[in-house]
Amino acid sequence: MRQDLGLGALIALVFSSMVGAGIFSLPQNMAQQAQVGAIALGWLITGVGMLALACVYQRLALRRPDLDGGIFTYARAGFGDFIGFNAAWGYWVCQLLANVSYVVVLFSALSYFTDRPGHTLLGEGNTPLAIGLGSVLVWGVHLLILKGVRRAALVNLVATLAKLIPLLVLCVALLLAFHLETFRLDVWGEQALGGVLEQVTSTMKVTLWVFIGIEGAVVVSARARRRQDVGRATLIALLGALALYVMVSLFALGVMSQPEVAALKNPSTAAILAQIVGPWGAWLINIGMVISVLGAFLSWTLLASEVPFIAAQSGLFPRWFSRLNQHGTPKHGLWATTLLVQLFLLVILLQESTYLALVNITTSAALVPYFFSAAYGLKLAWQDRARAQASAQDLLLGALASGYGLWLVYAAGVEYLLLATLLYVPGLLILHLARRQRGQTWGRAEALGGLILVCLAAWSAWRWAQGLLG
């Protein structure tokens, strides 16, 4: 494997993975569920949790440089093969669904330029034309990555710099048009939106969604020129993304009131900037969103192709996934990723699923790998503390990151967690094939875990068929 990703490429990979489509719809997504005070509290909780998680990943990257792949190899090191496999599978599924959501929202954004009343071409990104064009994009990115990860990373770096232009214009406009009186109207909104805790909880899936990708540098750590750049890239990209998210979601409520922002059509930032500077603001935001989503799609395809490759190297996936082509690209992992994204796109065409539905199920699928990788940081810090090899700071960071993971499980709610079990069950067959290749058998605890997962999935399928889920 070629180690040719420098600090700049790693920062771009993490930043582009996080800052995709979500930021352009962030004001409406947050205002729909919470007022200024609750949104600020939500970002405070998210900021502390994500900073703790980033610091845990930074320390683990240096403490355990042998664990390439990060997020799911940490789960395996801490809690065994069964948890490690499900973390890898859940993370891969999360990436696949994220890519599908990017295709949908990309062509939904392009509909601003193509659709007119009574003349729908791209609609919400789930029309036959949108899915057809999306399929062309999926296979075009596939061919680019086949030519080498470094080339794809350079393209992603250019896309990341390009997407910053409309976002910085938006931030400057928000600062200039900000009115404190508008911002202070009904700060807590308890009469219209419910209690503060309820409002804060309702923002959690949104805040998790916009931060998915924080682990990007950790996943490709084996390709980094310098191991210490992995942690640096994670922290730099996280702080930059957090500053943008807070400014866009909070300062927008100083330009328009919460009910007005909540009623906007997405991408809501287009309408907000258009109100400040005129119609060209909507054009700029929609063009920026297209560039941003293309960069995020490229980043997530890069990451998604690496996951089955690294999992196969560690024995969690079948050996078939562990092959590289002459350019150092995990070709079978990439082919599997592209084919599954294409399959999901066809399902979207038949079901007419929307971007927000994909966001909800994607964030739920991501909870398992995030929680267990954070919990491994806590476990390792506790073990090292007993041997006087870790500081109280390591222990505190592990506890904060793990507590944040549990909070996310609570905030996600039962409905989408149950739906996520339907995505986890097919992975048991992949685990069984990997075990057979290596002459391994299932342990009692693993068999029990698999049985529980199957039972939950069966119950979820029944509830879904009855119209009680989804």
pLDDT tens figures, 273-285: 999 999 899 899 9
pLDDT digits (tens, 9 = 90+) for 5-55: 788 888 887 887 788 778 888 899 888 888 888 899 989 988 888 888 888
At residue 113, the pLDDT reads 83
The pLDDT of residue 68: 67
Q: Residue 300: pLDDT band by 50, 70, 90 thresholds?
A: confident
Contact 194, 280 (CB under 8 A): no
| Residue-range domains of the chain with CATH | 7-465 (1.20.1740.10)
Q: Tell me the pLDDT tens digit for each residue of 220-233.
A: 767 777 877 887 88
pLDDT of residue 252: 92
The confidence score (pLDDT) of residue 136 equals 92
Checking if the pLDDT of 1 tops 60, the result is: no
Confidence (pLDDT) at 276: 92
Higher-scoring residue by pLDDT: 430, 163? 430
How many percent of the chain have pLDDT more than 70? Answer: 92
Q: Percent of the chain having pLDDT more than 90?
A: 14
Local confidence band at 149 (pLDDT 50, 70, 90 cut-offs): low
pLDDT at 62: 77
Q: Which residue has the higher pLDDT, 108 or 449?
A: 449
Stretch 326-352: mean pLDDT, rounded? 84
The 10s digit of each residue's pLDDT in 183-214 is 888 788 777 677 888 888 888 778 877 887 77
Which of 180 and 118 is assigned the larger pLDDT?
180
pLDDT of residue 351: 67
The pLDDT assigned to 356 comes to 61
For the chain, give the mean pLDDT. Answer: 83
User: Taking 70 as the threshold, does the pLDDT of residue 469 lie above it?
Assistant: no
Residue 124 has pLDDT above 70, yes or no: yes
Q: What is the pLDDT of residue 12?
A: 80
pLDDT tens digit sequence for 84-116? 898 889 888 888 888 888 888 888 888 888 888
**pLDDT at res. 8:** 81
pLDDT band at 178 (very low <50, low <70, confident <90, very high): very high
Residue 359 reports pLDDT greater than 80: no
